[in-house]
Amino acid sequence: MSTHEHLFAIRLMQHLVVPTFVLDPEGRVMIWNNACERLTNVSADEVVGTKDHWKAFYPEARECLADLVVQERIEDIEKLYATHSVKDDVFVGVRAENWAVMPRASKRLYLAINCGPIYDDDGNMIAVVETLRDMTEQKRAEEALQSLAHKDGLTNLANRRSFDISLEADVLQARRRGDHLALLLCDVDYFKPYNDTYGHQAGDECLKKVAAVVGEQALRPTDLAARYGGEEFAIILPNTADDGAFQVAERLRKSVEALNLEHTNSLTEGRVTMSIGYVSVRPDDHIEPSHLIERADAALYQAKQSGRNQVKGYQSDN
C-alpha cells in the first residue's frame, strides 16, 4: 500500500459512523475514530500511542476484546464476557457483548463488540480492529420482557411459573446438601367479601399493599416471594428449619395486620388479615415439590379452620 493509500485508509476509518479503534501489535492505540470519541467522551489525543483505552470503558484496568486478540488469549474470553462467539478460525475474528461502565461518558452501556486482526502479505499481525455498537435499548427491552415473563403484573412479585421453577430447583439443591427447605402459603382472609364491598379496583390496591409486605419477608437473595394465585401468596425459604419458618410467617401475619386496611365484612378483626400455613422439611429422594405444596396447603387450611389470622405449621417427620 502506498503512503497516499495508507493515509486515505486512516482518514476513512476516522470518519466511519461506527465507533472503532485500532491497536498495534504491542497493544497501543493507533486509531481512535471520531465516533469512538463521541461514544466514550474520551478524545483520541488522550489514548493514541498508549495502552489506556480500557479507561474509556471500565473503572479499573482490564483487557478489552482487542487486547485478547493481540495477546492471542482468546481462551480468556469466557472470563471477561458472558456473551461471546468465536469462529472456528479465531484469527478471522471474534464477537462479544457486555455492559461497560463508561466512566468518562457517565453512563452504562451494553456494547456489542466485533474484533479482528489485520495481517501483512507475510502473515504478520500488524493491527487489531475493534468496532463497537450500542445495544443498550435492545438489551433493556430484552431484560424487561424477561422480567415480565417471571413477574406478576399486578404485584411485581414472582409469578406462579417462576415459583414453580424455583421450588423445583430448591428441592433438588436441598436434597443434595441435606438442608431444610421451608414453604409458606398465605391467603388474604375473606378477600371475596372485600372485593364485593369495596370494588375490584380497591381489591387490586389491597393486594399490592399486602404483596409489598410479603416481599419484605424474602430477606435473603435465595428467598423467593411469589403471587401464588388470586389472593394467595407464597414464600420459599431455603435452608430454613421449622422455627425459622414460623418466625417469618408470624412476622408476616403481624405486618399485614399492621397495615390496618379497613375490612368491615371481615369476620376476624374488621381489617385485612392473613392466614398462613407452612412446612419445613429436609427433602429426600421421595420428597417432590408437590409434597411441600400439599403440606403447606394443609397447614393453611388448618389456620383457616381455626379462626383465620393465624399461623399453622405442618409437622413433618423429616
Just list the catalytic residues.
231
Q: pLDDT value at position 147? A: 66
User: Is 274 exposed, middle or buried, given 0-12, 13-18 or 19+ CB atoms closer than 10 A?
Assistant: buried
Could you tell me which residue, 225 or 82, shows the higher pLDDT?
A: 225
Q: pLDDT value at position 123? A: 87
pTM metric for this prediction: 0.60
Residues in contact with 105: Cβ distance below 8 Å, sequence separation at least 6, in sequence order: 39, 40, 41, 56
How far is CA 113 from its chain centroid? 22
Q: Write out the three cell numbers for 285.
A: 429422594
Closest of 277, 267, 272 to residue 303, by C-alpha: 277
Q: Which of 9-18, 31-40, 133-142 has the highest mean pLDDT?
A: 31-40
Whether the predicted pLDDT of 94 surpasses 70: yes
Instruction: Pick the range with the lowest mean pLDDT from 133-142, 175-184, 294-303.
Output: 133-142
228, 234, 239, 241 alpha-carbon torsion, rounded to 10°: -130
Whether the predicted pLDDT of 132 surpasses 90: yes
Q: What is the mean pLDDT of the chain?
A: 89
Whether the predicted pLDDT of 318 surpasses 60: no
Q: pLDDT value at position 86? A: 65
List of domains in the chain:
3-140 (3.30.450.20), 151-314 (3.30.70.270)
Mean pLDDT of 286-291: 92
Whether the predicted pLDDT of 161 surpasses 60: yes
Q: Is the separation of the CB atoms in 110 and 135 below 8 Å?
A: yes
pLDDT digits (tens, 9 = 90+) for 220-273: 889 999 999 999 999 999 999 999 999 999 999 999 999 999 999 888 889 999
Per-residue exposure over 5-24, b if at least 16 CB sit within 10 Å of its own CB, e if not: eeeeeeeebbeeeebbbbbe
Mean pLDDT of 206-232: 94
Whether the predicted pLDDT of 90 surpasses 50: no
